[in-house]
A = this chain, B = another copy of it.
Amino acid sequence: MADIPHMDPESFRRHGHEVIDWLADYLSDVESRPVMSTVEPGDVSGMIPSHPPESGEAFSSIMSDLDKVVMPGITHWQSPNWFSYFPSNSSGPSILADLVSSGLGVQGMLWSTSPACTEIETRMLDWMAELLGLGDRFLSTGTGGGVIQDTASSAVVCAMIAARDRATDGKGSSHGGSAHETLVAYTSTQAHSSIEKAAGILGIGRTNLRLIEVDETYAMCPVALGKAIEADLAAGLRPFFVSTTVGTTASGAFDPLEQIHDICREHGLWFHVDAAMFGTAACCEEYRWIQAGCQAADSYTMNPHKWMLVNFDCNCLWVADRSELINSLSILPDYLRNQATTSGAVIDYRDWQIPLGRRFRALKLWFVLRHYGAEGIRSMVRDHVAMMQELVGWIREDGNFELMAPAPLTLACFSHVDGNERTRAIMEAANATGKVAFSHATLDGRYVIRFSIGQWRTSRAHVKAAWELLQSLSVS
């Protein structure tokens, strides 16, 4: 192997220390960088040769191109001035756990292919269920259980598959033919686009997803849901699935889970809860009202990679009856048979997801939950909510802006009184300074600035400076 430039353990150690130092430097000055990349399309790829190199290059050249080629094209999601979209939070313990996972290079498709990968995941999902107050139905010690997926998009695909197969008794399902041409799913007009995407992927058809109207807080209207179901039943269709949202993407609205659950129960529909962003708030007793009723769901999902200090990707999906999920997604070819699996004594997470292979992502949860403890995570959530509530006060006092939706936690949506074009211009001008990053949404035809707090590096001073920037732009 003499002619192949494999990186031996001592070279790995040396270069590893270089990369750690590079990253520590980056993380210590991320605040000083323009939050959003200002490159134009083609700028980055224009610096990369059109053809792959024949010969290997020195590690130092690659690292120097990291600064020269990559960094100008980076939008800094880890900046304390990141108020855009939802955060993709990260933390030292999570990054280092991910490094361990990459270095071990294990593959957790089966229990037997690395038992620690499976057993730590099962335990972490039980820990998380307890932290979030999800109730006993989702624990692995009963009929339920949790699994790590890449994103809430994949999670809802898996939940919807299990629901589809339940509704069709195996006909028109994963196993049988396509006897599901009359299935109908429901979510609100404010739900995440992944619900519609899932309906398309599964062959339900996007047009068979009903987007139920919302009330003045942008929460799903249960009466409208009930009417839509009745209308579909009357038309000979088969309602089977309702996806509710705990914190919508546009404005952070909370669907009334208990009322919706009553409707699901009445009609025998699968009840899914998407708490991707705001599920983390449920670590705090005082914010659990946002998802009262989720304990009765068939499936529940949230993303530690958004607000819980775990770097992307790490989504958690729980189901109340794991056998339904496994029945839909399990295939056991001979080359994967093994004693542990056939004994039934273990979990094989390949049967809980679309891919076969899987990283050791539970390590990230384990490191983060132990490093911070439940108290540390709760303190971060409370700090962020307090910052937002102070900001909400400032917005209310300001004559130029008006809040366009309730903002009880960490997301505020507001517009300039002069209307959409002015609001858009202010947001774009703010982003163009490089000092902040905001995103936008449209609520009832009104263009709104979304101010989302969730980065752990964000302090009151960052929020205040960002708000003062918006104010200064609103009066000029």
Contacts and interface: CB of A to CB of B under 8 A. Distances in A.
Nearest to A25: B9
Interface in A351-384: 354-359, 363, 366-367, 369-376, 379-380, 383
Contacts of A346: 41
Interface string A204-216: 1111100000000
Contacts of A459: 1
A16 B20 contact: yes
Contacts of A340: 41
A57 B373 contact: yes
Contacts of A153: 354-357
A23 interface: yes
A95 B102 contact: yes
Interface stretch (A194-202, A217-225, A401-409, A466-474): A194-202
Contacts of A182: 178
B154 A56 contact: no
Contacts of A131: 52
B13 A20 contact: yes
| Oligomeric state, in copies | 2
Interface in A56-90: 56-57, 59, 61-62, 66, 69-78, 85, 88-90
Contact of A45 (B36, B122, B336, B359): B122
B181 A73 contact: no
Contact of A73 (B6, B70, B115): B115
Interface in A407-453: 439-442, 450
A88 B44 contact: no
Interface centre among A19, A96, A112, A358 (most CB of B within 10 A): A96
A22 B99 CA distance: 11
Contacts of A172: 181, 203, 205
Contacts of A193: 331-333, 336, 356
Interface in A85-126: 85, 88-96, 98-100, 102-107, 111-117, 119-120, 122-123, 126
B56 A373 contact: yes
Nearest to A379: B4
Given A1-B383, A200-B328, A205-B172, A99 B19 contact: yes
A311 B192 CA distance: 31
A356 B69 CA distance: 25
A440 B335 contact: yes
Interface in A16-40: 16-17, 19-28, 36-37, 39
A106 B75 contact: yes
Contact of A116 (B19, B59, B74, B313): B74
A24 B16 contact: yes
A399 interface: no
A288 B453 CA distance: 52
Given A56-B376, A335-B442, 17 more contacts: A1-B459, A4-B379, A5-B373, A22-B100, A45-B119, A45-B123, A59-B93, A69-B120, A74-B116, A77-B105, A77-B106, A161-B200, A172-B203, A176-B207, A178-B203, A312-B359, A334-B441
7 contacts: A44-B120, A55-B376, A70-B116, A75-B106, A178-B178, A193-B336, A202-B203
